[in-house]
Chain A
């Protein structure tokens, strides 16, 4: 047993070690970068941070709202084929994320599918592209939405599945209409799954940077892009680390706040055995 526990510790240490950013490393310990970011001239980054959070929040909410009916459909309407249909819903995930974003770029581009279709149907003048279709908040949000909805429907589906369907029968038995049953019984009981799904979108999206790179314009870059910039284009590792740690802090806080809603079998089992 000890022989098997050692790799466990080793891996944990290894992973933690890799995540230790070294802000302000070589020369002297200084908080100037931090103060710059938080209060001083780093206003542009603060602004971008706020913008990022707004986009993240909006996308998370929309995604969750859109995912709920899908989960509901699977659990209540498509009773017999629900697992197969779930797989259908999730299948695009198994293909390359990058490729899917590139595909959207092709669709939304200035001479892409949507625009050229509009031109061919003579709904717009040839060459006149819809401006907000690409390199805009819309495109970034749309692609993120597209990517996440199926995945968000998963925890909602699980919760709906585990719910005792006889509760709805009981409600009906007591005289509730279908809408009332939904609002008062189904929805409240499925809330843990909904929150879990919401969190599944929220936390990773805070660090998202690939989508804005491909379908976002210069005004639509997210916070992750700022971090990335500091480590590649205009390298300033100290400042970049400041931003990176800020992001980690945000993520950790979010995880702590929402973490109790994320129920994997393992966590639940662990708690049950306590």
Chain B
């Protein structure tokens, strides 16, 4: 199990110089490429010609809603599903024909799949024994693996005597002890409570940096993916919407789906009326236009625009200046560290703005029913093509009402 058929001299090593010196790592291996990978179940296409490069030694996540095909993709990498077509290249070699027991790839399952009738030690030793490793060596390596996951004293216990978090660590140790080229993790933190999950996210990230093995992580939780990953592939209906670093995905979403999947996007229907001095001039409705400098500024006609909640500047109703739209606060949610304001804009759109909680004064500054002015900075707005489905339809009925309430029409 510890051997691989791949010659380390081949295959590219893009991130090698950036990787931390790792304990027991395998330099130059673990680079995965999925080439036109497709899986069909009868007439249903679960994975639709996915192309993605997963650099070696990093933490890569497959992110998407339930049923999008991310788990199927993972299982094809592991060898539990046979692709309908396409290739899985590990360090340049197609492993599609190799059975899972022979691939230098190991999996941490969603249910952990610990063998209940074996002790923790025997669980972790399982793969080593199958590979014929000598007894002393087995003991040594199991000890190391347990130490790595901070479970040194637990070797004699049975899985049923462990907590969820501990079981997960045993599953990790069991997979890592075999020093695979790639480690696959299928939503391993799903069964844990929020606090434990956050703690383990940090630990997993540190662990990955420590061992330097390529981690491919499947999750539907965008916060989790953003926290842990070096790169994320957002998957929807079996296709990759965008593969990029967390920052790029959040700040520069390629389309409405990605924008909306990662955090609150405030997706709005609008139309590009023409160019502006910088960027494009976009009309949110008949009476309101804004300048937008980011995204597909070359597009004309109906588009969607996005802005992140924390970038909306909520100002008093009489505030003047460009890129400002009047609005009415319909609801305030107190989140502790911030205030979430639901605002009905005069253009007919409903947006969510995030205002940091700077103390008593800030908390009492806003109230439902209050008129405000929303400043949407041009550099915070982004134009996206209107093809993909997404929320944010302007409601003409609301547009009229909100417009009546704008300061110019009062009285």
Q: In the complex, A touching B, CB below 8 Å?
A: no
B: residues with CB less than 8 A from A are: none
A: residues with CB less than 8 A from B are: none
